[in-house]
Structure 1
Amino acid sequence: MMYAPVEFEFSEADYPPVEYQRKQQYWDSIRLAIFTLVIVAIIGITIGIVAHFVVEDDKSFYYLASFQVTNLKYRENYGLRTSKEFIQRSHQIERMMSRIFQHSGAGRFIKSHVIKISPDENGVNILMVLMFRYPSTGSAEHFRKRIERTLYQSLKTKKLPFTINKPSFTLTSIDSKKMRNLLNSRCGIRMTSSNMPIPAYSSKERIVQGRETSMEGEWPWQASLQLKGAGHQCGASLISNTWLLTAAHCFRKNKDPSQWIATFGTTITPPIVQRNVGKIIVHENYRRETNENDIAVAQLTTRVEFSNIVQRVCLADSSLKLPPKTSVFVTGFGSIVDDGPTQNKLRQARVETISSDVCNRKDVYDGLITKGMLCAGFMEGKIDACKGDSGGPLVYDSHDIWYLVGIVSWGQSCALPKKPGVYTRVTQYRNWIASKTGI
């Protein structure tokens, strides 16, 4: 229903004009506006000053902690940083450090990473990096003493899962370069250019119905495999400073390593790092007709130096089982529509794992999914990898450490309903990868 405006008529005798009141009202409005602007300016300046001293004036401080844990027995697999035992124990120790420092008032605790677990006659020795934010006006030594006091107080008052031998505890201030070098021994860690960790929740959508990657270092293991003179062909994942993991079908037309280059960075042009390919190894039992064993490794002629922008991803342990609807991320330079052009800027998407039983239904892929394949996407379609993403990574986050669980392999068109992306299941090929690369 619509309502017509009601009209009223007033005579000038009843309501004579009062000119001076209008003028006064006009100036009052100006004064009010000026007063408001002054107040807003003062508030803005105050916020700016506070932000400068509270936020801008904060600085990252890094410490190397070493201590003995007496209620743990050393296991041989602790020496292998990609082993299930090392990963699980590291997470437990890192959670304990978070519990000690998170609400302690000892600055703003950011993150900790276990670097090494080594044997000791009374248990195990732990070497780890601790990251804090403090006002830049303070000294690293002053904050080091504060951190020690907090830890010692926690050893007295908190019930902790691991028994730390207090006399064994040492804490040394290190610079960002030393910190990054230490973290390079750990795979799957993402860092910003300011040496701060990138949390898992910072990454959202991509590819078909996705978005461009937001910052350098968000997916530092992503590589572009290019044929000389023909440009980008496939994606790949850096798994060491010399080896890339990719799809076998990327080399169907050309297996000559001298014709291939690999680039790193969030853009194809210009790349951050470029390397020649010296060796290509395609799985011996790759079957083009069925897409089985769609996996290959490529070795670079010159090693890359790990940094915040170029870093290796962790290889998931063969025992890893991801339940359906687990959030995983796929990245690549592929097209954003079926048969569209390659994208110069790296793109990303969050998708979900789909069980092989569902994927093998008659109305989906009708039994074509083998044990070496992994389905991921959405049954309603819309978000998916596409042409040009082949060989690229499907990764899974566990406590801000990223693991390669899939390689973009095949699918029917892009982002169609009931036709999710199909990936090579990396956990199924851990022995094969180790036999070719030693990783």
Structure 2
Amino acid sequence: MTTYCLIAFLVAAVSAAPSTWDINAPGCGSNVVSYKYPDHYIVGGQEAAKHAYPWMVAMYYRGSFRCGGSLVQGSGSRSYVLTAAHCTVNTNANQWEMRLGRHDLSATETSTRQHIGVDQVINNPSYSSSTYNWDIALLRLASNPTVNDYVRPGCFPIGDISPGENSFVSGWGALTEGGSSPDKLQVVNKPILTHQTCRDQLGSNSYYDSNMLCAGFDAGGADACQGDSGGPLMAIRGGRVEIVGVVSWGYGCARPERPGVYSNSVKSKNWVSGYINGN
């Protein structure tokens, strides 16, 4: 997102059997790590448990870290990274490298890492660079990763997103507004807000119900920040973690009454399904 820092939580979970209309690969949204909900924020700092979010992707462009993303798979034969369109617009596929199985970006992590190139950048055709509406994109991987304890696909949501629902966001973005970024993955939790609250606090000319949701506390203190763009906003449903949003934009980081804004995964599910189930 343009100004964010993220966090999330995960439970040890075996994915429930997907419904007949689920676009996800079997076993998505689970990990082998068990720990409690975080009680600190990315802005202020809490390191995630190692490999608690095995779908988390560090996206490098021309050799430099740019954004976060999530590994997704459907019934098709190819694997994709779900991210924000503002991260990928006007970029070349052959200059991206997706780094999977990572926790500490300063370490070699040779036993867990998988670094894979990209052969296609797919920005949502409705994406607006002026409003950030439909800020969602897919990167098709040049080869499929090996699925194991450290690299697993995330799940798209089956049901709608509810105001008040607890959500989690994770990333390697800045720990304070305008501050430095950590090497180790960070995580935080915050509630989903109503569309009316989002409009009231962000402005009706900036926040669009059509493909946005927002999450945060009136007092601030929990947010994504610079470098967290494209990463997942998650919720736990039915024994698995679902990616309910993609980090998009916000006014600064963790400011009072300035919740973070995310592209709504439910609204984009049909568009995403056309790719991950058809190729």
TM range (shorter): 0.7 to 0.9
- Higher helix fraction (1 or 2): 1
CA contact (8 A) 2:41 2:221 kept: no
CA deviations 1:259-305 (Å, max 9, x no partner) are 11011221223352211111110111210111111010001111111
Establish whether residue 225 from structure 1 lines up as the match of residue 59 from structure 2: yes
Q: Distance in 1 between matches of 2:177 and 2:195?
A: 24
Task: Tell me the residue number matched to 1:369.
Answer: 207
- 232, 236, 253: which one aligns with 2:69: 236
Q: How far is 1:251 from its partner? A: 1.8
Q: Distance in 2 between matches of 1:423 and 1:82?
A: 25
TM-score where L is the length of structure 2: 0.84
Task: Tell me the residue number matched to 2:10.
Answer: none
CA deviations 1:42-82 (Å, max 9, x no partner) are xxxxxxxxxxxxxxxxxxxxxxxxxxxxxxxxxxxxxx954
Q: How does 1:252-401 map to 2 (within 5 A)?
A: 252=89, 254-264=90-100, 265-269=102-106, 270-271=108-109, 272-317=113-158, 320-361=159-200, 363-370=201-208, 371-401=210-240
Q: Distance in 1 between matches of 2:179 and 2:162?
A: 32
The 1:427/1:340 distance shift into structure 2, 3 A limit, reads same
Helix, strand or coil at the partner of 2:196: helix
Helix, strand or coil at the partner of 1:190: coil
Q: Distance in 2 between matches of 1:435 and 1:396?
A: 23
Helix, strand or coil at the partner of 2:192: strand
Helix, strand or coil at the partner of 1:428: helix
| One-letter amino acid of the structure 2 residue matched with residue 219 of structure 1 | Y
CA contact (8 A) 1:330 1:385 kept: yes
- Of structures 1 and 2, the one scoring higher in RCO (CA 8 A, sep 6+) is 2
Q: Distance in 1 between matches of 2:20 and 2:202?
A: 34
CA contact (8 A) 2:80 2:139 kept: yes
Q: How does 1:170-189 map to 2 (within 5 A)?
A: 185-189=26-30
Q: Distance in 2 between matches of 1:427 and 1:309?
A: 26
Q: How does 1:51-62 map to 2 (within 5 A)?
A: none
CA contact (8 A) 1:204 1:348 kept: no
CA contact (8 A) 2:161 2:244 kept: no
Task: Tell me the residue number matched to 1:207.
Answer: 42
CA deviations 1:377-401 (Å, max 9, x no partner) are 1121111000100000001101330
- 73, 83, 100: which one aligns with 1:246: 83
Task: Tell me the residue number matched to 1:27.
Answer: none
Per mean C-alpha deviation after superposition, the further-off stretch among 265-274 and 380-389 is 265-274
| One-letter amino acid of the structure 1 residue matched with residue 275 of structure 2 | K
Q: Distance in 2 between matches of 1:281 and 1:85?
A: 23
CA deviations 1:126-175 (Å, max 9, x no partner) are xxxxxxxxxxxxxxxxxxxxxxxxxxxxxxxxxxxxxxxxxxxxxxxxxx
Establish whether residue 408 from structure 1 lines up as the match of residue 251 from structure 2: no
TM-score where L is the length of structure 1: 0.54
Instruction: Determine which structure has more spread, i.e. the larger CA radius of gyration.
Output: 1
| Aligned residues with identical type, % of pairs | 29
| One-letter amino acid of the structure 1 residue matched with residue 273 of structure 2 | A
The 1:84/1:395 distance shift into structure 2, 3 A limit, reads farther
Where structure 1 has 5 or more consecutive residues not aligned to the other structure, the ranges are: 1-79, 87-183, 193-197
Where structure 2 has 5 or more consecutive residues not aligned to the other structure, the ranges are: 1-15
Q: How far is 1:255 from its partner? A: 1.6
CA contact (8 A) 1:275 1:302 kept: yes
Q: How far is 1:84 from its partner? A: 7.0
Task: Tell me the residue number matched to 2:19.
Answer: 83
Q: Distance in 2 between matches of 1:84 and 1:382?
A: 40
The 1:300/1:426 distance shift into structure 2, 3 A limit, reads same
CA deviations 1:396-418 (Å, max 9, x no partner) are 10133010100000001111111
Q: Distance in 1 between matches of 2:142 and 2:161?
A: 35
Q: How far is 1:247 from its partner? A: 0.3
Q: Distance in 2 between matches of 1:286 and 1:431?
A: 15
